[in-house]
Each structure stands twice: as C-alpha cells, then as structure tokens.
Homo-oligomer: A and B are copies of this chain.
Amino acid sequence: MKTEIGAVNCLYPLPTTLVGAHVKGKANFITIAHVGIMDLGSLSLGMNKVHYTNAGIKENGSFSVNIPSQAMVKETDYCGIVSGKKRDKSVLFDVFYGELDSAPLIRECPINMVCRLVKTVDFPKHDIFVGEIVQTFCDEDCLSEGVVDFSKVDPILFVMNDKSYRKLGDPCGKAWHDGKVLLA
C-alpha cells in the first residue's frame, strides 16, 4: 500500500566521502555524502555555502574526493561535525599529494580522486561543485585483478532519512546481463 510522505529525498544510500581542499593555504577536509556522478569522468558535490571549504575550492579550482573505509567511521563523522574554522582536521590524517598541489589526499582512505573544478552550479543555499577526475589512487590490497573491489574498500554508505551509516552488502547481480532473460 502506497503512502504519500511529502517531498522527501530518498536517493540513498550515497557514498560518504572526505573532500579535501586547501583553505587559506592549508589542507582541510570535510565530510560530504550529497554527491553524484555526472558522467564517467566527473562527479558532483552538493556543499552548503556555510562551509569553510567552499572558498578554498573556488579559489584554487581543485579538490580531492577520498573514500574512507568502515574502520574510519569516527574520523569521517568528526570531519562533518567540526568546522575547519575552529579545528585543524588535517592532523588526523597522513596527507599526500598527486598532480594538483591544492588537492590534499588522505593516505588512510583506500581510494583518492584528484579533481579539477570544471563547473560551479549556484543553488540557493548550496554550491554544486562539478569536478573532472584527473588522477585516482587506490590501495593495492583493494584491487581484484586490477579492478577496484568495493568489498575490500569497505565504504561507509550514508542514509539521511535515519541519519545512519551503512555497510555495503554482497553482490546480487550483474549489470547489462541479468535483464537479458526478459529479452525473449
């Protein structure tokens, strides 16, 4: 039985990320799960304009997207609670850099994407930052036959509706394959 629940966003779960940027010349990280994919080479971040990090992304035209594992739930949640205005969050992590000088990466995260800002879409209360992925790092032990294996990455999924973090579950099908049985 269907029930109307208002205009509630139910596009969950989404992957919880740690977005890195330089703000006032210093590495900072913020937890962002309102993310998306535009096309295979680019992604989006929906970031409330109140955040400290937005100015740094605009100023430098670059940012990083780091995918934390379940083992990093506390640190990941902390970076969403505390503002870089008040605390130096970079001390939590071993920071390294790829091709872009102002896109700090987190070594403890199994996946790190270096992004160049290609577009900013202005929303009433949010900056939507669209980044082109220019370089990706992965922990070697999170690959299976050269392909990123998300069972090994063990990402933190986010559901806003009940404010929960969730694990990734088991494989249950193959894309562009399982529907073929209905082609007949």
Residues of A within 8 A of B (CB): 1-15, 17, 34-44, 46, 48, 65, 67, 70, 73-82, 92, 96, 98, 107, 111-113, 119, 121, 123-126, 128, 130, 133-141, 143-144, 146-150, 153, 155-183
Select one of B92, B138, B158, B177 contacting A175, CB under 8 A.
B158
Distance in angstroms between the alpha carbons of A40 and B161 in the assembled complex: 11
A165 touches B172 (CB 8 A): yes
Distance in angstroms between the alpha carbons of A80 and B65 in the assembled complex: 28
For this chain, the copies found in one complex come to 2
A7 touches B135 (CB 8 A): yes
Distance in angstroms between the alpha carbons of A137 and B138 in the assembled complex: 39
Shortest C-beta distance, A41 to chain B (Å), equals 7
Distance in angstroms between the alpha carbons of A15 and B158 in the assembled complex: 11
Select one of B11, B79, B126, B141 contacting A179, CB under 8 A.
B79
B1 touches A140 (CB 8 A): yes
Select one of B17, B81, B168 contacting A157, CB under 8 A.
B168
Q: Which residues of B contact A141 (CB under 8 A)?
A: 1
